[in-house]
Amino acid sequence: MRYELEIMPTALVMLSEITDQRVRRQIANRIDQLVEDEDKQGKALYGELSGYRTLRAVGQRYRIIYRIDNGRVVVLVVAVGIRKEADKKDIYELAQRLIRLGLLEH
């Protein structure tokens, strides 16, 4: 089954803030691959991010956080960024804050 791809405005801003064109292109290519076999890629998240999945990109450094909406047959990319454990700018911390603020559907 081929899914439609939808990127939330927040994720587009995060992607556009990546200054290295090569890295941005690699992340975009990885996102494009989600329309095929999206459930066989990445891994499920838990806690506040349950219902979302994460996919590594650009040499394991960046993460793409997305959700599969089978009702509409959509892969919804909600955040893109670097994994920096125990850092305020960690992509998972940012995604959790977006959920708490009601900016991401949960």
CATH of the domain at 88: 3.30.2310.20
pLDDT in tens, 26-80: 999 999 888 876 667 789 999 999 999 999 998 778 999 999 887 666 788 888 8
Give yes or no for a contact between 34 and 77, defined as CB atoms under 8 angstroms apart.
Answer: yes
Look up the domain containing 77 and give its range.
4-100
Say which residues have a Cβ less than 8 Å from residue 10's Cβ, sequence separation at least 6. Answer: 78, 79, 98, 103, 104
What's the pTM value of the predicted model, to 2 decimals?
0.84
Indicate the number of domains in the chain: 1
Q: Is residue 92 part of a domain?
A: yes
Say what the pLDDT of residue 17 is: 92
Q: Is residue 33 part of a domain?
A: yes
In the predicted model, what is the mean pLDDT of residues 9-33? 92
Say what the pLDDT of residue 105 is: 67
Triad 64, 106, 45: Cα angle to 5°: 45
Q: Is residue 38 part of a domain?
A: yes
In the predicted model, what is the mean pLDDT of residues 88-106? 84
For residue 70, give both structure tokens. Answer: 């089978």
Say what the pLDDT of residue 26 is: 94
